[in-house]
Each structure stands twice: as structure tokens, then as C-alpha cells.
Amino acid sequence: MQKLTSRYGSVQLDDSGQQVYHVTSPHVLLQASGYLKHVLGNQMPCSVLFRGQDKLYKTLEPTLYRNVKSQKVKSNRDAALKEYLELLKAENKVLRAIAEPIWDPLLQHYGIRTKWLDLVDNVWVALWFACHSAKTTGNYGKYLHFERRIPGRKAEYAFVLLLRSDASDRSDQPGMWIGDQTELVDLRIAVPSTFLRPHAQHAVLLRRCKGLDHTRVDYSDFVVGIIRVELADALSWLGNGTLLTTHALSPPAHYDFGYQELLQGAAEGNTNIGTIHYVGA
């Protein structure tokens, strides 16, 4: 992003030690978010997606692999997820209309920890997540709600990560693409809108498809850029529109029929894989 020139954007070194492109205009936010999509897309087939975060971390692991320090722990997590998926398959009550290769990424979107990383294909949805903190409580983090961040006296920021996927070969499964390093699932294509949340959030998920031992669960090597926005600016740009609320982005089960089915029929999870979230909206 060093080549982007604007009086409303500049490359800076964040307190985390990572280089960011700091923007002070919503127009430059959109310009910066589209820059790498265009440039990298012209160089070779690729997709650049977004991930909103309220802070920057040293690593970027899928939820299933967070704090994994050994191959044994990773293998135990993999086995726990496989066992859960087999249980769902045996019950044959939920996800019966969804192709099995899509089960993992769809369940990830509703709270189960998997090897997929949550991304979105909409920069202001990513910015929304960067402006809210997720809070969980209850068994296996069952109850989830989002708190709108409030700017304080010191500088606070919202971060939008841009991640690159080389998945450009369409698989046999609609909505899924495969590359040499990554797989990508666009849930807006892969699942019907009876599962409303993925469509509301423009949900796309990514995972590493080769060499995934415990030393390769950090996906930060796929990050190609970071946009930073003052929290107060980000909140102002988002405003208070109904479509950018928890109620809209994580619709209640009354509207999200797929979510309703998961709440009623999916087995409870465990400490390794979490569980289906009950979202307070």
C-alpha cells in the first residue's frame, strides 16, 4: 500500500510493531480496500477478503488452533471436531440439506471452532466487527454478545486486515474454490439464505490446505495489508443504521431458520470445539 497517495491516508508503524495504512476519510478506506483487490487480481488469479479486529495480534489462528503449541494438542483438537461432525451425521437432523464439505465453515460461522478463518467480502461489515468486542459466557462460551466500543482519552483504533487467497479453481461443490495453498468457501453461494447470518455478513472463509501441522496454524502469512482507522472516525462512518446492528448482522433464530435448526437439533459441544452460540441481539 506504500504506492497509495492521499492526503487522507499514510503508511505508519502501529504500536504493535506492524505496518498499517492509516486512513482519515471513508473514501480512502474504500480506495485502500479496493487497491489490493485490483493490483493483486491483475497479477494472478486471487481473492482479497477482509477481517475486522479491535486489536492487532502477533498471530492469526483459526479458532480450533488457538494456543496450540504441539502436534499432539492439534491432533486432539482435530479428533474432537471430527467426532462432533460424525455425531451430527449420525443424528441426521441438522445440516441434512447442506453438502458435507460445507459443514465445517458453516458451523464455524455459528460458533463451532474449526480450522477455517472467518472473513467477509464487505469492508464496512469488517469495520463493524472492528468497532465491537465479542463477549462470551456460559458452558463452552455458549452465550455471545457484542459490545460497541467507546472511544477513550487515548488513541484507539479499528483494524481491517486484508488477506489473500490463491484459491481460483472451482471445486465440485458450488461456492468452494481450491488453490495450491488455500481453500475458500463463499457461504452466500454454498448455503441457502435460510441460513441468514452468512448472507447478512457477506461471509467467506479461508483455510490452509497443505502442510497444516502445528507449526503452520498461523495464517498471518496470508495478510497482505492492514488498514487502521481511529475508532471515533470508524463509529461515525458506520453511523446507526439498522443494517449495521447485531440484530441485522446476526439475525435472531426467528428470522434465521437455519440457526433455529442448529439451536434445536445440534449436539452440545465441548471445551475443544466450543458450541453453537446463543447471540444476544
Angle between helices 123-130 and 231-238 (to 10 degrees): 130
Average pLDDT on 17-21 reads 96
The percent of residues in the chain predicted with pLDDT above 90, rounded, is: 82
Q: How confident is the model at residue 212 (pLDDT cuts 50, 70, 90)?
A: confident
Task: Provide, rounded to the nearest whole percent, the portion of the chain with pLDDT above 70.
Answer: 99
Q: Are 183 and 146 in contact (CB under 8 A)?
A: no
Q: Would you state the pLDDT for residue 181?
A: 93
Which residues, other chains included, contact 171 with Cβ-Cβ below 8 Å and sequence gap of 6+?
101, 177, 178
Query: What pLDDT is stored for residue 170 in this prediction?
Result: 82
pLDDT confidence of residue 41: 80
Average pLDDT over residues 185-214: 94
For the cut 90, the answer to whether the pLDDT of residue 4 exceeds it is no
pLDDT in the model for residue 46: 80
* Beta-carbon-side half-sphere exposure of residue 170 (alpha carbons within 13 Å): 6
Query: Considering the chain, what is the average pLDDT of its residues?
Result: 93
Tell me the mean pLDDT in the region 205-217. Answer: 88
**Res 93 pLDDT > 80:** no
d(C-alpha 65, C-alpha 62), whole Å: 6
Give the pLDDT score at 145. Answer: 95
Q: Mean pLDDT, to the nearest integer, of 87-98?
A: 86
Structure confidence at residue 115 (pLDDT): 95
Mean pLDDT to the nearest integer, 31-59: 90
The span from the CA of 163 to the CA of 181, in Å, is 13
Mean pLDDT of 117-144: 96
Contacts of 178 (CB under 8 A, 6+ apart): 167, 169, 171, 184, 209
Q: Is the pLDDT of residue 55 over 70?
A: yes
Specify the pTM: 0.95
Position 148 scores a pLDDT of 96
Q: Is the pLDDT of residue 2 over 70?
A: no
pLDDT band at 281 (very low <50, low <70, confident <90, very high): low
